[in-house]
Amino acid sequence: MTTSAPPWAGQIIQDGVGCHLEGAPDPCVVVIFGASGDLCHRKLMPALYDLFVNHGLQESLAVVGCARTAYDDDQFRELMAQAVAEAGLDLARWDAFARRLFYQPLTYDDPASFAPLRHRLEVIDRDCGGCGNRIYNLAIPPQLYADVARSLSAAGMNQSDGPGWLRLVVEKPFGDDLQSARQLNAALAEGFAEEQIFRIDHYLAKDTVQNLMLFRFANAVFEPLWDRKYVDFVAITAAETLGVEHRAGYYEQAGVLRDMFQNHMLQLLALVAGEAPPNMDAERVRDEKIRLFRCLRPLPADNLDGTLVLGQYAAGRVAGQEVVAYRDEPGVAPGSLTPTFAALRVFVDNWRWQGVPFYLCSGKRLAKKRTSIDIQFKQVPHSLFRQALGEHITSNRLSLGIQPEETITLSIQTKKPGPKLCLRTVGMGFDFRAGGEPMHDAYEKVLLDAMLGDHTLFWRQDGVELCWQWLEPLLRACEACADRGKRLHFYPAGGWGPPQARDVAPLLADRNE
């Protein structure tokens, strides 16, 4: 649609240009291992139901839940109907979906218990038209990934008897260091080829994250400014108000660096700092990320002053509610030194970004949920208005809101109306919701892409390993040293992290707006 109206801020001027239309996926059966768990309940089942209803998969999708818990089909369907209702979806088409939803109990490390599953899948193929295509979704704790992959292989379920394809979808974490990531991959690779493996980073499937590439490479005006000549620094912030919730067991081992930096934060960095791929072919897009990861300057693990600040939340108030300290959360050790906040200064050693700091910051129990990327441009080279305004003119900033605000804002300087020569900073903005289209959950996108066999939004193993390799000296330095406790700054829940972080998270102070 085109309009003749002038381009007022935030207005959609032309819509749907160059839409990359996804074809319909082949019929397939999605097998969820860990179907009794949280991820299946909160994310996978609502996403599959929504795809079934709104993406024309009524004749082509069947879903089989598997776990140790001894449900039958009806019990599982009832539970999943609750899950879908809790996700706020309309159950009008539930009965049709439920007819294609099944449950098969099994033991993850017992290949013999996979034989009934194999038989069941063949029956479902016949009855529901799955054509032998399978997605095996590992929604189980990571220590079980290798067991399930091996059981699938031992039961002969990693190879298709006919033309059908088999894909293995793996949730993060992909290891907890380089060695374990390699071991996990070796275990998966015993039965599955790299092109069969889809490593999910659901962050990448958010519309606003995908928009990063479109914004950079479909607009001629920004890309020429996107380098060391014009950019002062880049801040990538992922602030959460949530605490550790029910994930203490995992989080105590992982901490914020493993949970957020090795994966989501580095993916955002790659998207904001990487070069343009020659086209949108999945491997070419992933190649550019690899190239960027290779340019990350090694972290000075022997002296982290000015590079890293770690924090852990103390008791405080978030959104008007009293919340306990991390150390008082159920499942957390009373003297835990696990960081729930990190601010890290990173450099990208290449021609484009030499000398430009990238400030990566993420924390739990902060004042506001906000993930954003801010490109801070340099100051004007000379102030014409020195006498009237002094030396300082606020420099431009481009803010890309990822969640929950899904916005693009460019701050610019304009004259404040009136007799005096006076500047004011105003925002030119666009809100993703301006078009009124429904925003889809990222899991819908990743599941659909797995059905379509499109790897663009999934991690490739070389990327996983490069990121661990880069982060590992930092992890070792943080975890091994005797004064580990001294590195950790406690911050009250509901604030913006420890004040010591200001040097490595320069925009945090602005967050109080």
Active site residues: 264
Of 348, 253, 227, 336, which is closest to residue 292 (Cα–Cα)? 348
Angle at 204 between CA 203 and CA 210, to 5 degrees: 125
Q: Which of these, 246, 249, 512, lies nearest to 370 by C-alpha position?
A: 512
Give the binding range for ligand NDP (CB under 6 A) out of 54-62, 134-142, 206-214, 281-289.
134-142
All residues at 6 or more sequence positions from 211 whose CB lies less than 8 Å from its CB, including other chains: 400, 408, 432
Among 67, 184, 256, 292, binds ligand NDP (CB under 6 A): 67
Q: Indicate whether 345 belongs to the interface with ligand NDP (CB under 6 A).
A: no
Of 181, 252, 193, the closest CA to residue 467 belongs to: 181
Nearer residue to ligand NDP within complex by CB, 359 or 443 = 443
| Residues 446, 202: Cα–Cα separation, whole Å | 7
Q: How far is the CB of 25 from ligand NDP (least distance, A)?
A: 22
Among 129, 141, 156, 473, binds ligand NDP (CB under 6 A): 141
Amino acid at 307: T
Least spacing, CB of residue 71 vs ligand NDP, in Å: 8
Contact segment (CB under 6 A) with ligand NDP among 65-73, 110-118, 129-137, 185-193 equals: 65-73
The residue with its CB nearest to ligand NDP is: 37
What is the distance between the alpha carbons of residues 257 and 261, in angstroms, rounded to a whole number?
5
Is the Cβ of residue 113 or residue 500 nearer to ligand NDP in the bound state? Answer: 113
Report in angstroms how near the CB of residue 188 gets to ligand NDP at its nearest: 14
Q: Which two structure tokens, joined as six digits, stand for 242? A: 């949530």
What does the radius of gyration of the chain's CA atoms come to, in whole angstroms? 25
Are the beta carbons of 98 and 78 closer than 8 angstroms? no
Q: Give yes or no for a contact between 445 and 438, defined as CB atoms under 8 angstroms apart.
A: no
Contact flag: residue 237 with ligand NDP (CB under 6 A):
no
5, 11 in Cβ contact below 8 A?
yes
Residue with tokens 């499937």: 205
Please select the residue that binds ligand NDP; options are 31, 61, 117, 140, rule is CB under 6 A. 140
Per-residue x/- track, 102-121, ligand NDP (CB under 6 A): --------------------
Residue 278 · residue 259 · CB < 8 Å: no
Out of 7, 24, 56, 68, the only residue in the binding site for ligand NDP (CB under 6 A) is 68
- Pick from 324, 114, 94, 343: nearest CA to 239: 343
Residue 172 as a binder of ligand NDP (CB under 6 A): the answer is yes
The residue among 247 and 489 lying less far from ligand NDP, judged by its C-beta, is 247
Whole-number Å distance between alpha carbons of 301 and 344: 12
Query: Which residues from 144-163 bind ligand NDP, rule CB under 6 A?
Result: 144
> Using CB under 6 A, which of the segments 53-61, 66-74, 75-83, 263-271 binds ligand NDP?
66-74
In this complex, which beta carbon is closest to ligand NDP, that of residue 442 or of residue 488?
Answer: 442
Which member of 129, 142, 300, 429 binds ligand NDP (CB under 6 A)?
A: 142
Helix (H, G, I), strand (E, B) or coil at 226: coil
Residue type (1 letter), 309: V
Q: Which part of the chain contacts ligand NDP (CB under 6 A), choosing from 29-37, 182-190, 284-292, 347-355?
A: 29-37
- Residues contacting 442, CB < 8 A, separation 6+: 202, 203, 204, 205, 206
**Is residue 37 a contact residue for ligand NDP (CB under 6 A)?**
yes
Q: Using CB under 6 A, which of 29, 30, 31, 34 touches ligand NDP?
A: 34
From residue 219, alpha-carbon distances to 216, 235, 387, 469 in Å are 6, 21, 36, 34
CA 317, 318, 321, 326 dihedral sign is negative
Q: Is residue 180 near ligand NDP by the rule CB under 6 A?
A: no
CA distance 431 to 407: 4
Report if residue 86 touches ligand NDP, rule: CB under 6 A. Answer: no
- Residue closer to ligand NDP by CB (options 217, 250) is 250
In whole angstroms, how close is the CB of 172 to ligand NDP at the nearest point? 6
Least gap, CB of 469 to ligand NDP (angstroms): 21
The DSSP 8-state label assigned to residue 259 in this structure reads I
Residue in 36, 104, 158, 376 binding ligand NDP, rule: CB under 6 A = 36
- Chain residues that interact with ligand NDP, rule: CB under 6 A: 34, 36-39, 42, 67-69, 139-142, 144, 171-172
